[in-house]
Structure 1
Amino acid sequence: MKPYNIILSLFVLVILINNPILAQNNTDAMQPKKNNGSSYFSLSLNYISDAVYLGRKDSITAPYLYPSISYHNKTGLYAMGSFSYLTKPDESRIDLFLGSLGYDFTNKKFSGDISFTKYFFNSDSYNVISEVDADITASLKYDFNLINLMLSSTCFINKNGNSDFFISSEISHDFVTTDKKIQISPSMGVYFGSQNFYEEYYIYNRFGSERTTGSGQGSGQGTGQGTGGTGGTGGTVITTETTTTTVMLQESKKFGLMAIEFSVPIWYINKPFIVSFLPTLVIPQNPATLTVDSEVYKEDLKSTFYWMAGISYRF
C-alpha cells in the first residue's frame, strides 16, 4: 500500500480501537497520523452524536463536542489532551477531561500503536464508561493489498479496582481518489471483552449506590426557663431514611462477544486541513442479566446508529 494509504489506514486503526470515547475519549483519533519523518502539532474540533461503547449507552443521549491538541514526534511518540463538552439541553457541561501518551510506528505494510489514557469524568456524568479511570491499548495492523487486517487489545482500569480486558479484530478496504484527497474505508469489527465497567456504571449511575427516601413529620411541646426569658413551644422534626440498592451484573467477569460494528470512515484532505466523517452501526451482543435487590432483569439491547465528524489543522 502506498504511503498515503498507510497514513489513513493507521487512522482507521486508532479510531476503531478507541471506538466511541473511545472516539470521543481519544480525540486525536479523528485525524490520520503522518509517517513522513517530521514532527507536528495538531488542533482539532470533533463532534459525536452519542456516547456509545460496544453498543452500550445510557437511556439519555450524550452528544459531545470535543476540542483537542496533540503533538506527534517524528520518533513516533505522541501526547494528546482534550475535553468533552456535553451539548444536550439542560445538561450542558464539561463532562470529561483526558490525556494520552503513546507510540506508533509504520513499517511498509505493518503498523502499530500503544497508548495510555487517563480519564477525569465529571461527577454528574452518565457516560457508560464514566467509572473507568484509565486504559492501556495496543494494536497491530497489516495491509494485504485487498484488505487491511487489524488486531487490538485494551485494558480498562476501573475506579473500584476491577479491570476489564478487550480484544477486537477488524477488516477494512480503502478506496482512494486519483488526486489522493478523498479516502473511504468501509470496515467491520468484532469485539470481545468483560463487563466490570458496565456493572459499575449501573451501580453508580443508573441506580445509584445509595438513595435517600421518605420523610417523617412530628411535633413536640416543651418549656424552659432561663435568665432573661422563657422558652417557646412547638417544633417540627424531619427524618430521612437511607436505603442501599444492591446491583449485580451476572456477566461482569465473563469474557465474551460484546458487539459487531460496521462503519464507513471518510476523509477529505486539503493540507493543512483534514475533514472527517464516521457513520457507525453497532449491533450489541450478549445482553446483561441484572439483579437489582431481589429482582432479576434481562437487558434489552438494540442496534444503534451514531456518527462522528471533525476537522483538524496541522502545523
Structure 2
Amino acid sequence: MKYLRILILIAVCSPASAAELLRHAFIFRPAPLTVRDTDTIVRKRSISVGVNYGSDAMFFGRVGPITYPYFSADVVYNFKSGFFAYGSALRLIGYNTSVDEVDLGGGYLYHPTRQFSGAVSYNRFIFNKEERIIESATSNDVNWKNSYDWGPVKSTVTLDYLFGKSSDFFMTVTHSKYFETKGNIFDDKDYLSFNPGFSFIVGTQNFVQRYSVDHQERLAAINIYKFGSGQSTGFNNGRLNVLNYSFKIPIAYNRPHYTFELAYKYSIPVNVEGALENKHESFINASFFYIFY
C-alpha cells in the first residue's frame, strides 16, 4: 500500500478537487483516491494512468446551467525526488467533440513527518473553442495543499489561485477519516478502503461572472441569464464568501498495482451569485488507476 502514496497525493493536490476536486481537482478530479498519509512515502520512479467518469462537471462548488457528464484519461510521471508531471484529456458525454479539455502541469510532493504532508503544483487548462464547462473562464491554477493527520481525523487545507480571463482565490478545508478492511477480499493482496469526509470552500467567484458574459446567448436561451437589476454585473463576485459545503463517501477496491474507486458526493452551494442558479446536487464518480514501476 505504501508505494501508492505518491500517486494518491498527486490525485488530490489541486483544484478540482476542490475539487474535490470533484471537477476540478487536478487531473484525477472526479474521485481522488485517498490512503493513510501516516506512513513514510517510498520514493520511486513510476508512471500512473487513470480513467474517470463523472456525473457532472463541478468547479469549486459551482456547476454550469447544463449537466455535463464526462470521461477523462490521465497520465502522471513521478520522479524519485518528489517532483511529478502530468497530462489529462477530458471529453463531455453527448457531444461530437473528441476532446473538450486538456490539462498539463507538474509540482512537488513533500512529507516531512509521519503526520504532515503536502504538495505544491501548477496546472494549465486548455479548452476547445466551445468552452462549455464553467471552469473555461480561467486557464491557470497555482495550488498549495497541506494535510495533517490528527489520528481521529485528518485535516487538509488547500489554497488555489486561478488566473486567465478571470482571477479568483479559493481555500478548501476538508476533514476526513480513512480506514480499511483488516481481512482480505479475494486473496491476501487486496483490501477495501473508505475515506468519508466533509469539506467547505471559501473564495471569490469572478469566474461565474466571466462565464455568464462569455455565454450570454446560451444562458438567455435557457432562461438563466438575469437581465435588468438582477444581472450578474450587479453582484460583488470579488468578495470572499463561503461557496459550498459537501459530504463525500468513497469506497475503493485496492490491489498492489491498481485501485478502483466509486464515490458519492452531496453538494450544498451557498452565496450563489451571478447568472448561474446552482442548487443542491448529488454526484456519482468512478475512477480506475494503474501504476507502473
* Structures share fold, TM-score greater than 0.5: yes
CA distance in 2, matches of 1:289, 1:313: 41
Task: State the partner residue of 1:153.
Answer: 159
Correspondence 1:308 to 2:277: no
Classify 1:260/1:5 alpha carbon distance in 2 versus 1 (closer, same or farther; 3 Å). Answer: farther
C-alpha contact 1:266 1:277 (8 A) present in aligned 2: yes
Classify 1:305/1:148 alpha carbon distance in 2 versus 1 (closer, same or farther; 3 Å). Answer: same
Task: State the partner residue of 1:234.
Answer: none
C-alpha contact 2:59 2:134 (8 A) present in aligned 1: yes
Structure 2 residue corresponding to 1:126, chosen from 95, 109, 132: 132
Percent identity between the two aligned chains:
24
CA deviation profile, 1:274-310 (whole Å, cap 9, x unmatched):
11122111100002155xxxxxxxx643101112211
Structure 1 residue ranges, 4+ long, deviating more than 4 angstroms after superposition: 2-9, 31-34
Correspondence 1:173 to 2:177: yes
C-alpha contact 1:8 1:32 (8 A) present in aligned 2: no
C-alpha contact 1:249 1:288 (8 A) present in aligned 2: no
| RMSD value, Cα | 2.9
When normalised by structure 1's length, the TM-score is 0.77
Task: State the partner residue of 2:101.
Answer: 96
TM-superposed deviation, 1:198: 1.0
Classify 1:35/1:271 alpha carbon distance in 2 versus 1 (closer, same or farther; 3 Å). Answer: same
C-alpha contact 1:102 1:116 (8 A) present in aligned 2: yes
Task: State the partner residue of 1:223.
Answer: none
Structure number having the greater strand percentage: 1
C-alpha contact 1:46 1:65 (8 A) present in aligned 2: yes
C-alpha contact 1:55 1:303 (8 A) present in aligned 2: no
TM-superposed deviation, 1:187: 0.3
Structure 2 unaligned blocks of 5 or more: 185-189, 222-230
CA distance in 1, matches of 2:277, 2:92: 25
C-alpha contact 2:6 2:78 (8 A) present in aligned 1: no
Task: State the partner residue of 1:53.
Answer: 59
Correspondence 1:138 to 2:169: no
Task: State the partner residue of 2:225.
Answer: none
What is the identity, as a one-letter code, of the residue corresponding to 1:309? A
Task: State the partner residue of 2:27.
Answer: 26
The alignment partner of 1:149 has SS state of strand
CA distance in 2, matches of 1:37, 1:8: 11
TM-superposed deviation, 1:92: 4.4
Correspondence 1:255 to 2:240: yes
CA deviation profile, 1:220-251 (whole Å, cap 9, x unmatched):
xxxxxxxxxxxxxxxxxxxxxxxxxx851513
CA distance in 2, matches of 1:20, 1:273: 21
What is the identity, as a one-letter code, of the residue corresponding to 1:93? S
CA distance in 2, matches of 1:60, 1:163: 23
CA deviation profile, 1:147-181 (whole Å, cap 9, x unmatched):
0011111011122xx41001121100112111572
The alignment partner of 2:210 has SS state of helix
Task: State the partner residue of 1:64.
Answer: 70
Structure 1 residue corresponding to 2:193, chosen from 169, 180, 183: 183
CA distance in 2, matches of 1:96, 1:86: 9
When normalised by structure 2's length, the TM-score is 0.82
C-alpha contact 2:180 2:194 (8 A) present in aligned 1: yes
Which has the higher mean CA deviation after the structures are superposed, 58-67 or 279-288?
58-67
TM-superposed deviation, 1:77: 0.5
CA deviation profile, 1:181-239 (whole Å, cap 9, x unmatched):
21101100010000111111111024469x9xxxxxxxxxxxxxxxxxxxxxxxxxxxx
Structure 2 residue corresponding to 1:112, chosen from 98, 113, 118: 118
CA deviation profile, 1:78-137 (whole Å, cap 9, x unmatched):
01101101112x454311011011111223110101110001111112201111111011
C-alpha contact 1:137 1:153 (8 A) present in aligned 2: yes
What is the identity, as a one-letter code, of the residue corresponding to 1:259? N
Classify 1:126/1:272 alpha carbon distance in 2 versus 1 (closer, same or farther; 3 Å). Answer: same
The alignment partner of 2:59 has SS state of coil
What is the identity, as a one-letter code, of the residue corresponding to 2:291? R
What is the identity, as a one-letter code, of the residue corresponding to 1:98? D
C-alpha contact 1:47 1:63 (8 A) present in aligned 2: yes
CA distance in 1, matches of 2:206, 2:52: 29
TM-superposed deviation, 1:32: 5.7
CA distance in 2, matches of 1:32, 1:188: 14
